[in-house]
């Protein structure tokens, strides 16, 4: 356990950023935290590890988790240009998902030893921040046993709709990747995949549920504050 706890977390809004560029940036931060932990272990030193909370949007892109099934991409790779999208097979957990404008993508690159050492709790708190954010806007949401993410009509198996997907990578309690929260996202893009490998569940957004375009910046602020609350982060 890290005896030098640091809950200070640097918030960075990357805006609209190419997926590969954001992935590379995450990886650099991720490795920098691992390097400090390695130095502490090998040199018996006590350097603190830093935490980062990244928000961004991506141009249209499909990403497949490391153990996902490529057949869940329903579009041929050579036809991706027809929907102005790119595709990456990446190193997070989970299956295939879509990112695009109008979707808040959150990448916590943090040392969980600064907070707690429980991956299950980490995933549930990511979901909880989104659930509480939706509640602020009058949308009831929750979890479905055995499935990750946040769902609308989660108690009705046939009508359940996913509004937020999760997929993470961890190494020595350091995290990367995170969540994708549909606010004003173009849901038509999900027709090109089997979202998260789940064929019998629909996908939705705040815009669709509330019947109007949402204040994207306001929702980002609320979500940032909810994440800070549930993780007890000191955001700066």
Closest CA to 205 of 84, 60, 85, 100: 100
Whole-number Å distance between alpha carbons of 168 and 97: 13
Angle at 57 between CA 54 and CA 62, to 5 degrees: 110
Mean pLDDT of the chain: 95
Alpha-carbon distance of 144 to 95, in angstroms, equals 17
Q: Residue 90: is its pLDDT beyond 50?
A: yes
Which domains does the chain show, CATH number per domain? 8-229 (3.30.930.10)
Catalytically active residues are 196
Question: How many beta carbons lie within 10 A of that of residue 35, not counting itself?
Answer: 12
What is the pLDDT at residue 3? Answer: 57
Phi, psi of 202 (to 5 degrees): -85, 170
pLDDT digits (tens, 9 = 90+) for 120-174: 999 999 999 999 999 999 999 999 999 999 999 999 988 999 999 999 999 999 9
3 state SS of 129: helix
200 pLDDT more than 90: no
Instruction: Specify the DSSP element, H or E, that contains 32.
Output: helix 19-43
Q: Are 99 and 203 in contact (CB under 8 A)?
A: no
**Average pLDDT over every residue of 86-103:** 94
User: At residue 76, does pLDDT exceed 90?
Assistant: yes
Give tens-digit pLDDT for 9-31.
999 999 999 999 999 999 999 99
Q: How, if at all, do strands 61-64 and 96-99 pair?
A: antiparallel
Q: What are phi and psi of 96, to 5 degrees?
A: -95, 145
Please state, in angstroms and rounded to a whole number, the distance separating the CA atoms of residues 138 and 132. Answer: 10
Q: Please give the Cα distance from 136 to 131 (Å, whole number).
A: 9
The residues with which 51 forms a beta bridge, in sequence order, are 9
Q: What is the mean pLDDT of residues 51-76?
A: 95
Per residue in 101-122, pLDDT (tens digit) is: 999 999 999 999 999 999 999 9
Strand ranges (E), 5-132: 8-16, 51-57, 61-64, 86-89, 96-99, 103-109
Q: Given this model, what pLDDT does residue 1 score?
A: 47
The mean per-residue pLDDT over the stretch 60-80 comes to 93
Residue for token pair 């041929």 = 76
Sign of CA dihedral 51, 123, 104, 87: positive
- Whether the model pTM is above 0.85: yes
């Amino acid at each position: 356990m890290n005896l030098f706890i640091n809950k200070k977390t640097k918030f960075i809004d990357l805006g609209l950023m190419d997926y590969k560029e954001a992935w590379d940036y995450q990886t650099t931060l991720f490795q920098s935290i691992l390097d400090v932990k390695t130095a502490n272990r090998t040199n018996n030193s006590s350097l603190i590890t830093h935490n980062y909370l990244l928000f961004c949007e991506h141009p249209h892109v499909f990403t497949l988790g490391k153990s996902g099934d490529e057949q869940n991409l329903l579009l041929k790779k050579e036809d991706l240009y027809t929907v102005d999208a790119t595709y990456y097979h990446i190193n997070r957990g989970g299956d295939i998902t879509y990112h695009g404008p109008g979707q808040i993508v959150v990448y916590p690159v943090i040392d969980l030893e600064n907070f707690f050492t429980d991956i299950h709790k980490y995933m549930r708190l990511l979901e909880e921040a989104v659930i509480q954010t939706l509640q602020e806007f009058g949308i009831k949401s929750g979890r479905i046993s055995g499935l990750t993410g946040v769902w609308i009509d989660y108690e009705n198996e046939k009508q359940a709709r996913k509004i937020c997907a999760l997929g993470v990578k961890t190494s020595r309690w350091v995290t990367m990747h995170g969540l994708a929260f549909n606010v004003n996202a173009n849901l038509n893009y999900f027709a090109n995949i089997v979202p998260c490998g789940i064929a019998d569940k629909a996908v939705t957004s705040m815009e669709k549920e509330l019947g109007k375009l949402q204040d994207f910046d306001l929702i980002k602020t609320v979500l940032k504050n909810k994440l800070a609350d549930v993780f007890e982060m000191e955001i700066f």
